[in-house]
């Protein structure tokens, strides 16, 4: 009977099995509706490891943070690439980037690490600082001129500012040899192109969860066309017309041209993948950070004080006469209060899931017991369980700006469960070999955004008693969740 329903039976030595009620889908609908509640309920029923049948896959969830180390140690039986490669090809529409399949010999992960970390990060930070100020002060000038309050949706604002600045930082600026156009009209045209790319990005991003779940993009006409337009904008021939391309994009173009057999559009789509990775989580993370800051006067006071003191020690003056603030990586690294605020906002909003696929039948050894895992099964971690665990984070649903600070005001790294110190307690960027290569840049850019917002603007919520928006669960498993509704805020230039 199980066989007829496409389900399997639990064998001896395997974790407890939840087949779900529906043929093929198994537990998919219950899991999709609210993954955190679903997993908590199954954890209560079965304990720290259990298997769920989700849309034809068998996923073993490990819920005890002490067993995360065990999983990392047994990496040789597990594959992290196949799933990522297949998902990227499916969602963005390029050919396989798995070197085993012969389209390219590029090691993408190495390229990302090389161009997003180390010395390359300094250049990204420098460019982002300049671009953020250009976007906040110059490109949005019409709105700011009268020095009166501007009211806007906070998510809409974060989306526009981070997308435009991030886009310019990675993909540079259009250089325009057309001399009869004046600078401001060139800038306006450029801005219109980027805001158009943002509209296409949003249209495509909406259906991203459906693509990851395996639905073909042809089912979504406008999202499909939006993805093609993004690809068009990022064709090598168009990128070559831009100045100040980041090292990441320059190197990726070179490797596309020298190591791959991709056609022009496929090459462009590998850049669409990079654009998506650089924005899809950063935008909601920026929103949550600024939202919680605006809701917490205590956090706002502490952050403002830290920003003021770092600017003073860097001898940077805030002015509106065209001279920009510049803070280098070392100075930005010396802002533990902003670090703690960003971490806390991401703890509350992140729902990334870590997947590994079993390369063969093997026995998974955990701390005190072991389980048989079958080839092609998925082993998964869902760190939101950890982030919302009241034993690790007292009062876990409350934003506490100093949660990640110790008594000396430095980064706090000791978190405990059952009296034992945890190695893994904070995982919005994933973990192990596949950890986000852009994580350092992401935190720096959010920190730069906050520093500039607090320096140049007076900002406040339109309604101070506004309720915290709920997390939109449709993206659960994919990173930072978006708010289910926008929140109005207002801002105006400070009188400097
Ligand atoms: C992958 C989170 C920002 C580039 C990932 C993964 C997560 C993640 C969870 C998958 C890791 C895994 O599978 O275990 C985030 C969050 C961000 C952020 C929460 C912001 C708050 C960025 C930025 C960039 C970036 C700004 C680039 C500029 C990438 C790339 C990958 C990735 C290229 C794929 C890595 C690979 O497969 O080799 N990110 N990310 N991310 N991220 Fe980020």
Indicate which atom in ligand 1 lies nearest the CA of residue 442.
26
Q: How far is the CA of 277 from the centre of ligand 1 (A)?
A: 6
Averaged confidence pLDDT in the chain: 92
- Ligand 1 near 125 CB (within 6 A): no
Q: What is the mean pLDDT of residues 163-187?
A: 81
Is residue 112 in contact with ligand 1, taking CB distance under 6 Å?
A: yes
Best of 436, 441, 475 for a ligand 1 pocket test (most atoms within 8 Å of beta carbon): 436
Centre of ligand 1 to C-alpha 76, Å, is: 23
Ligand 1 mutation pick, 108, 281, 288, max ligand atoms within 8 A of CB: 281
Residue in 488, 446, 451, 452 with CA at minimum distance from that of residue 154: 488
CB atoms within 10 A of CB 298: 10
Structure token pair of residue 478: 């994919």
Which pLDDT belongs to residue 147?
A: 75
Q: Is the CB of 480 under 6 A from ligand 1?
A: yes
Nearest protein Cα to ligand 1, atom 21:
282
Distance 158 CA to ligand 1 centre (A): 19
pLDDT (0 to 100) of residue 72: 86
Nearest CA to ligand 1 atom 28: 278
Proportion of the chain in helix, strand, coil states, percent, rounded to 5:
50, 15, 35
Q: Select the more confidently predicted residue: 342 or 476.
A: 342
Q: Which residues pair with 51 in a beta bridge?
A: 17, 60
Higher pLDDT, 284 or 177: 284
Pocket-testing residue among 429, 476, 478, 482, ligand 1, by greatest number of atoms within 8 A of Cβ: 429
Q: Whose CA is nearest to atom 34 of ligand 1?
A: 436
Pick the residue with more confidence: 417 or 26? 417
233 CB within 6 A, ligand 1: no
Confidence of residue 184 (pLDDT cuts 50, 70, 90): confident
For ligand 1, the distance from its centroid to the CA atom of residue 437, given in whole angstroms, is 6
Q: Is 340 in the pocket of ligand 1 (CB under 6 A)?
A: no
Strand partners, 352: 477, 478
Q: Whose CA is nearest to atom 32 of ligand 1?
A: 436
Read off the pLDDT of each residue in 473-493 and give the average, rounded to a whole number.
93
Q: Is 279 in the pocket of ligand 1 (CB under 6 A)?
A: no
Indicate whether 274 pLDDT > 80.
yes
Ligand 1 neighbourhood includes 81 CB (under 6 angstroms): no
pLDDT at 3 over 60: no
Tell me, using a 6 A CB cutoff, whether residue 329 lines ligand 1: no
Percent of the chain with pLDDT over 70: 96
Task: Flag whether pLDDT at 261 surpasses 90.
Answer: yes
Question: 400 and 377 in contact (C-beta within 8 Å)?
Answer: no
* Ligand 1 pocket, residue 285 CB under 6 Å: yes
Given a cut of 50, is residue 1 above it in pLDDT? no
Q: Is 278 in the pocket of ligand 1 (CB under 6 A)?
A: yes
Query: 87: CA distance to ligand 1 center in Å?
Result: 14
Predicted local confidence at residue 375, as pLDDT: 95
More confident residue, 250 or 30: 250
Q: At what angle do helices 81-92 and 264-279 cross, to 10 degrees?
A: 110
Q: How far is CA 102 from CA 66, 86, 235, 262, in A?
A: 39, 14, 22, 10
Pick 175 or 11 by higher pLDDT.
11
Average pLDDT over residues 387-406: 97
Q: List pLDDT tens digits, range 412-456.
A: 999 999 999 999 999 999 988 789 999 999 999 999 999 999 999
Model pLDDT, residue 25? 78
Q: By alpha-carbon position, which residue is closest to atom 17 of ligand 1?
A: 281
281 lines ligand 1 (CB under 6 A): yes
Q: What is the pLDDT of residue 446?
A: 98
pLDDT band per the 50, 70, 90 thresholds, residue 141: low
Q: What is the mean pLDDT of residues 183-196?
A: 87
Q: How many angstroms from the chain centroid is the CA of residue 207?
A: 16
pLDDT tier at 139, thresholds 50, 70, 90: confident
Note the ipTM here: 0.98
Identify which has the larger pLDDT, 69 or 220: 220
pLDDT in tens, 228-253: 999 999 999 999 999 999 999 999 99
pLDDT in tens, 303-321: 999 999 999 999 988 888 7
pLDDT average, residue stretch 101-130: 96
Decide if pLDDT at 105 tops 70: yes
- Higher pLDDT: 212 or 296? It is 296
Residue predicted with more confidence, 496 or 106: 106
Ligand 1 centre to CA of 378 (Å) is 20
CA distances from 4 to 20, 23, 309, 441 (A): 15, 9, 68, 50
pLDDT of residue 83: 83
pTM of the model: 0.95
Nearest CA owner, ligand 1 atom 1: 436
Work out the pLDDT band at 140, boundaries 50, 70, 90.
confident
**Distance between Cα 439 and ligand 1 center (Å):** 7
pLDDT digit string (tens) for 329-381?
999 999 999 999 999 999 999 999 998 999 999 999 998 899 999 999 999 99
From the CB of 354, is ligand 1 less than 6 Å away?
Answer: yes
In angstroms, the CA 371 to CA 419 distance is: 26
């Amino acid at each position: 009977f199980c066989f007829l329903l496409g389900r399997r039976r639990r064998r001896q030595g395997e974790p407890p099995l939840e087949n779900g009620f529906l043929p093929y889908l198994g537990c998919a609908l219950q899991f999709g509706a609210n993954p955190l509640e679903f997993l908590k309920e199954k954890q209560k029923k079965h304990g720290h490891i259990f298997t769920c049948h989700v849309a034809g896959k068998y996923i073993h969830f490990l819920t005890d943070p002490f067993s995360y180390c065990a999983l990392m140690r047994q990496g040789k039986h597990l594959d992290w690439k196949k799933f990522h490669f297949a998902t990227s090809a499916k969602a963005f529409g390029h050919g396989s980037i798995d070197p085993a399949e012969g389209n390219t010999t590029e090691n993408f992960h190495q390229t990302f690490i090389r161009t997003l970390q180390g010395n390359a990060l300094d250049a990204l930070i420098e460019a982002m600082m300049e671009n953020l100020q250009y976007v906040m002060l110059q490109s949005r000038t019409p709105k700011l001129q009268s020095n009166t309050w501007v009211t806007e949706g906070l998510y809409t604002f974060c989306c526009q500012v981070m997308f435009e600045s991030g886009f310019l930082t990675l993909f540079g600026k259009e250089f325009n040899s057309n001399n009869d156009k004046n600078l401001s009209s060139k800038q306006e045209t450029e801005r219109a192109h980027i805001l158009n790319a943002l509209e296409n990005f949003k249209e495509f991003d909406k259906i991203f969860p459906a693509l990851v779940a395996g639905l073909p993009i042809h089912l979504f006409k406008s999202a499909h066309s939006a993805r093609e337009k993004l690809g068009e904008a990022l064709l090598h021939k168009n990128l070559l017309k831009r100045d100040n391309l980041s090292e990441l994009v320059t190197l990726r173009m070179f490797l596309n041209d020298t190591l791959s057999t991709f056609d022009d559009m496929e090459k462009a789509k590998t850049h669409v993948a990079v654009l998506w990775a650089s924005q899809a989580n950063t935008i909601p993370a920026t929103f949550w950070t600024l939202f919680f800051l605006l809701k917490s006067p205590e956090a706002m006071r502490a952050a403002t004080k830290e920003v003021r003191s770092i600017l003073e020690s860097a001898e940077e003056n805030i002015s509106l006469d065209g001279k920009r603030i510049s803070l280098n990586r070392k100075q930005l690294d010396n802002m533990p209060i902003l670090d703690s605020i960003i971490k806390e906002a991401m703890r509350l909003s992140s729902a990334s899931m870590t997947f590994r696929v079993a390369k063969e039948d093997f026995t998974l050894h955990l701390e005190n017991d072991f389980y048989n895992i079958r080839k092609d099964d998925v082993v998964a971690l869902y760190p939101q369980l950890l982030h919302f665990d009241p034993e690790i984070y007292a009062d876990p649903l409350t934003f506490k700006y100093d949660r990640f600070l110790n008594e000396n005001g430095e980064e706090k790294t000791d978190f405990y469960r059952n009296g034992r110190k945890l190695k893994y307690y904070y995982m919005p960027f994933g973990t192990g070999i596949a950890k986000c290569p852009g994580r350092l840049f992401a935190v720096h850019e959010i920190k730069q955004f906050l520093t500039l917002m607090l320096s140049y603007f007076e900002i406040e919520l339109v309604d101070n008693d506004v309720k915290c928006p709920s997390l939109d669960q449709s993206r659960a498993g994919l990173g930072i969740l978006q708010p289910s509704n926008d929140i109005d805020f207002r801002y105006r230039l400070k009188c400097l």
